[in-house]
């Protein structure tokens, strides 16, 4: 672990990206901050005390805030809808037990307690449904705000990796997916809600499920040894996501070529080259790329895919480029650029980095070629 980890890790209590990955928020023992991801600009900061949940509604001024309980005014049982434009509380909701997760979009507000879920109409702030859940102390959930059904995914079992998918518009259970033998550790929807990715506490296999067919899934091997999956993210897509990424307790970033597998062959629309088909699973290493040591081992991280760029005419060797954002619990934002080659290879580099706690920005520009450093430039802004 880096020398700064021990002092910083205790300060960040939560971190999340907004629905289109243009902003991210962090909650600390002192308050919360909102950053623009593209520029690293600190957009809003408030020092009130410790926050365990800070969620944004797209790029609007509306935040969902839950205190960590370290101050009497910031109870973990109270949800505050806060307007950053006016600095005022718009609405407060109190519950009998601690709130473990909050998700929302322009129509629905979802509040999870340890054993209950509440669904609200966000515009009218009227409760639409509430139902009991299996004990979910970690607040594990996924929400697909851009899907027609605004699907919510939560654990359906504490002994197996089963997922309940709930339609928050129709206010009914949509399906149950039996994803893993071990309990769940991470779940995420694709942009449209068409696909759901899951990882168990074992962390060796990540599965991508077609939500409309609960029994249809695709397997991706992360590794042979157990590792805790901290975060999952699909690339933005209106159809089949091109890639799925994961971060784990090993400190590595894993990239899986989802579209190539779902299409039933290893021909990726971005790669533009035909490779032998013989795989209906993704255990082939050609579909799995790894960037080692992006964060210190055992430091929790939050990851998202900012964008995918098709590069058919830019280079005869490059197929596409991915921009990936990572926020680490020891206080750093990092942007990685991954370039995938038409012959299955890849290169990667750390494009920029800054400390989200002390507002000093360290920008680092690096280029690797298959893990070999070939260029390095570091600029420090304070």
Q: Tens of pLDDT along 296-315?
A: 999 999 999 999 988 766 56
Residue with token string 């012959």: 343
Which residues are registered as beta bridge partners of 105?
Answer: none
Residue 283: per-residue pLDDT: 54
Is the pLDDT at 146 greater than 90, yes or no? no
Cβ neighbours of residue 278 closer than 8 Å, sequence gap 6 or more: none
Contacts of 369-376 with CB under 8 Å at 24 or more apart are 370/345, 370/346, 371/292
What's the angle, vertex CA 197, arms to CA 147 and CA 152, rounded to 5?
40
Selected residue with higher pLDDT from 286 and 141: 141
How would residue 359 be classed by pLDDT, with cut points 50, 70 and 90?
low
Of the candidate ranges 56-65, 274-283, 288-297, 306-315, the one whose mean pLDDT is the lowest: 274-283
How would residue 358 be classed by pLDDT, with cut points 50, 70 and 90?
confident
Q: Give the residue among 68, 62, 66, 60 at the shortest CA–CA distance from 80.
A: 66
Percent of the chain with pLDDT over 70: 84
Residue 7: per-residue pLDDT: 43
Q: Dmax over Cα atoms in the chain, in whole Å? A: 62
Q: How far is CA 299 from CA 26, 204, 288, 364, 375, in A?
A: 15, 18, 22, 20, 27
């Amino acid at each position: 672990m880096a020398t700064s980890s021990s002092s910083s890790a205790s300060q960040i209590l939560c971190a999340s990206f907004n629905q289109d990955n243009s902003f991210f928020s962090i909650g600390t023992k002192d308050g919360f901050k909102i950053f623009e991801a593209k520029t690293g600009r600190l957009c809003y900061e408030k020092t009130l005390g410790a926050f365990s949940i800070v969620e944004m509604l797209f790029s609007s001024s509306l935040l969902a805030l839950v205190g960590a309980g370290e101050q009497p005014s910031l109870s973990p049982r109270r949800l505050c809808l806060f307007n950053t434009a006016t600095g005022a509380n718009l609405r407060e909701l109190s519950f009998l037990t601690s709130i473990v997760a909050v998700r929302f979009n322009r129509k629905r507000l979802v509040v999870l307690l340890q054993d209950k879920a509440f669904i609200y109409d966000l515009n009218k702030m009227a409760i639409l449904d509430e139902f009991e859940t299996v004990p979910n102390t970690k607040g594990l959930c996924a929400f697909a705000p851009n899907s027609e059904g605004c699907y919510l995914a939560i654990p359906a079992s504490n002994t197996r990796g089963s997922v309940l998918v709930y339609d928050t518009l129709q206010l009914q259970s949509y399906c149950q997916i039996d994803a893993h033998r071990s309990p769940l550790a991470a779940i995420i929807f694709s942009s449209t809600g068409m696909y759901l990715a899951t990882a168990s506490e074992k962390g060796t296999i990540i599965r991508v499920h077609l939500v409309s067919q609960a029994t249809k899934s695709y397997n991706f091997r992360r590794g042979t040894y157990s590792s805790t999956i901290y975060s999952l993210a699909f690339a933005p897509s209106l159809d089949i996501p091109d890639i799925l990424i994961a971060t784990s307790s090993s400190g590595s970033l894993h990239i899986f070529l989802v579209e190539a597998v779902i299409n039933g062959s290893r021909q990726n629309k971005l790669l533009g080259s035909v490779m032998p088909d013989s795989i209906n699973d993704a255990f082939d290493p050609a579909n799995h790329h790894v960037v080692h040591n992006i964060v210190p081992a055992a430091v929790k991280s939050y990851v998202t895919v900012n964008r995918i760029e098709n590069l058919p005419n830019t280079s005869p060797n490059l197929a596409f480029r991915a921009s990936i954002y990572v926020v680490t619990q020891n206080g750093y934002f990092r942007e990685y650029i991954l370039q995938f080659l038409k012959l299955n290879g890849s290169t990667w580099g750390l494009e920029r980095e800054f400390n989200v706690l002390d507002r000093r920005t360290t920008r680092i520009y690096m280029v690797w070629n298959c893990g070999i450093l070939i260029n390095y430039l570091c600029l420090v802004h304070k």
